[in-house]
Chains A and B, each alone.
Chain A
Amino acid sequence: MKRKAKGIKNQTTIQNFITYAIVIAFWVFIQIWSKAGQMTSLLNGLLVPICTYVILAVSLNLTVGILGELSLGHAGFMCVGAFSGAFFTKAMAGAIPSVGIRFAIALLVGAAVAALFGFLIGIPVLRLTGDYLAIVTLAFGEIIKNLINVLYVGKDSRGLHLSMKDVASLNLEPEGEVIIKGAQGITGTPKASTFTIGILLVLLALFIILNLVNSRTGRAIMAIRDNRIAAESVGINITKYKLLAFTVSASIAGVAGVLYSHNLSSLAATPKNFGYNMSIMILVFVVLGGIGNIRGSIIAAVILTALPELLRGLNNYRMLIYAIVLIAMMLFNSAPKAIEMRERLMEKVKGKGKGAA
């Protein structure tokens, strides 16, 4: 009996290590691929975005899959992280000359600011559930994006200046520098993000989320998801754990944002990168990979980010194929017949040899 309980625990540990191994294998594969000179510049440019999207998908899965609440404002937290991180890197250019160190601290800053936003937004928002929660998070995501679009921040010898109007109203000294220029955003962020850093951050996000899920805290969060009333009746603090999950999720999205912003020389909050389209795209990764299935989110994010670019050669058929892949993946993941077929296949594989799995 005891062996049984231990067996389950070992199984989750093994599953987690498989997930880490897949990520590391992907990194090794890309390294070999580029050493062999097979990388096109198109593919090279995709690597950091892929890591960004994987982190976003994994973090949203914490809210949607583990906490069980539909959030459509995830891009908003990414946006907060991106801007606070890039702002830090730019503003501290004089104080900390090393780009690497600035970037490392920027990651922490992005995580902290996004966590703060997640916490503050979570307080009112998490009183709602279901569709209502989805709509309100969508609205908050848009508010964040639009606020950043009118935000002007400048720096001179007297310190930081903030305005919501225009550059002139910042009242900067002549040698002062405007860091966030409203709709133009931040320009000239050093390109510090690399694929290796991206993969390390993916691993870190996975480490935090997988360990969180398999702990006392994670159990409490999943208990709330499965039955709020019962969770309350056994003494679980609903508000605390909902807020905790939401904040961690936002914070990790913030890290993805910092990674994203340090991959671009100019960062602006457009509907395309931080709007609800992005939030929904992240949600598509999560739903497609399987709600609550962290490894699935990773695979879905990689495939769906890489696919449209890889199919560029097919021009007009590109989006058609993308759509077909979406449908096929959806069916493969959730249609009862497909699941049956998958299980049969698994049994066959297991029958042939245990090492095959």
Chain B
Amino acid sequence: MAMLEVKNLSISFGGLKAVDDFHVSIEKGQLYGLIGPNGAGKTTVFNLLTGVYKPDAGSIELDGVNITGKRTMDINQGGIARTFQNIRLFKELSVLDNVKVGLHNHHPYSTLEGIFRLPRYFKVEKEMDERALELLKVFDLDQESGYKASNLPYGKQRKLEIARALATDPKLLLLDEPAAGMNPNETKELMDTIRFVRDHFDMTILLIEHDMKLVSGICEKLTVLNFGQVLTEGETSDVLNDPQVITAYLGE
């Protein structure tokens, strides 16, 4: 059974059909790419998958569970975590606390236990610190755990966003243009990180990307979106050599 099964997904804004009859099927452990020209509706698909928008039609199944139309927080607890095209960190919080917010639902204690500093507070906070530092270490961010998130350099902010998403213990990770604004060296490092995340956390990953080097380097399968519709899908090398795709990107 597929990890993510999307069928007939559609949404329109006013008269514009932003996403029209979108479908995708991602197997567990796959590294899947969603590409397409600017304005094709890629991020809208992400927003539909994570419940930011409610679809007009269609169904989304995660690991056999129907999550169509659920709230963002419930979808996250159901197993989808994401990063954002324009980085959205908790700027005023420390690097460590950013990850600890991600751990929020997995290490609970009540507000009263927090205020009155009952034993469970110390126990759970300790667990959280350890888990968060473990995650930060994976991304080589443990040395910066005390920094304010907004003081990190750009590339590390992207990594922190991934670490935060992973802290929610997802089944599926959505990465929205992870390489945006990175130089070739950073992109290369990022590719290694993404591969590592897939192997280390046994993760299924769907990513949006414009950097074709990254896409052809790590994605196993691709779906190409154009004007909100699926143009083509299949193995990465086949898709990238498809004349239709080249036309969509470069014009006639």
Contacts and interface: CB of A to CB of B under 8 A. Distances in A.
Interface in B58-103: 72-73, 76-77, 81-82, 84, 88-94, 96-97, 100-102
A6 B126 CA distance: 10
A244 to B, nearest CB: 7
A215 B121 contact: yes
A7 B89 contact: no
B101 A231 contact: yes
A220 interface: yes
B114 A234 contact: no
B146 A218 contact: no
A230 B98 CA distance: 10
A233 B76 contact: yes
A1 interface: yes
Interface stretch (A82-90, A106-114, A221-229, A304-312): A221-229
14 contacts: A2-B133, A5-B96, A5-B133, A208-B115, A216-B125, A219-B93, A223-B101, A226-B91, A226-B93, A227-B90, A227-B91, A230-B89, A235-B104, A236-B104
A5 B72 contact: no
Contacts of B137: 1
A225 B101 CA distance: 13
Contacts of B165: 233-234
Given A218-B114, A234-B81, A234-B168, A5 B93 contact: no
Contacts of A8: 94, 96, 145-146
Nearest to B100: A219
A88 to B, nearest CB: 24
Contacts of A230: 84, 88-90
B111 A229 contact: no
Contacts of A212: 111, 114-115
A229 B46 CA distance: 13
Contacts of B90: 222-223, 226-227, 230-231
Contacts of B96: 5, 8
In the A-B complex, list the 9 residue pairs whose CB atoms are closest, starting with the nearest. Answer: A215-B114, A235-B76, A230-B88, A226-B90, A232-B72, A1-B142, A223-B101, A217-B111, A227-B88
Nearest to B109: A216
Interface in B120-143: 121, 124-125, 128-129, 132-133, 137, 142-143
Interface residues of A, number: 34
B104 A220 contact: yes
Interface size classification for chain B: 35 or more
Contacts of A226: 89-93
Contacts of B92: 222, 225-226, 292
B164 interface: yes
B93 A235 contact: no
Nearest to B96: A5
Nearest to A237: B73
Contact of B108 (A4, A216, A236, A238): A216
A211 interface: yes
A206 to B, nearest CB: 12
Max count, chain A CB within 10 A of own CB: residue among B104, B116, B125, B168: B104
Interface in B207-239: none
Given A215-B121, A216-B108, A233 B114 contact: no
A260 to B, nearest CB: 24
Interface of B: 50, 52, 72-73, 76-77, 81-82, 84, 88-94, 96-97, 100-102, 104-105, 107-109, 111, 114-117, 121, 124-125, 128-129, 132-133, 137, 142-143, 145-146, 164-165, 167-168
A223 B73 contact: no
A234 B104 contact: yes
A292 B148 CA distance: 15
B117 to A, nearest CB: 6
Given A230-B88, A233-B76, A233-B82, A223 B93 contact: yes
B133 A234 contact: no
Contacts of B132: 5
A7 B121 CA distance: 18
Contacts of B115: 207-208, 211-212, 215
Nearest to A233: B82
Contacts of A6: 129
Contacts of B102: 234
A231 B50 CA distance: 13
A234 B93 contact: no
Contact of A211 (B72, B109, B114): B114
Max count, chain A CB within 10 A of own CB: residue among B81, B94, B102, B132: B102
Contact of A235 (B94, B105, B114, B143): B105
Contacts of B124: 216
Contacts of A216: 100, 104, 107-109, 114, 124-125, 128
Interface string A1-21: 110111110000000000000
Contacts of B72: 232-233
Interface string A219-263: 110110111011111111110000010000000000000000000
Given A231-B101, A235-B168, A4 B89 contact: no
Given A216-B109, A226-B91, 13 more contacts: A1-B142, A6-B129, A7-B146, A215-B114, A219-B93, A223-B90, A223-B101, A227-B91, A230-B90, A233-B165, A234-B168, A235-B105, A244-B111
Nearest to A1: B142
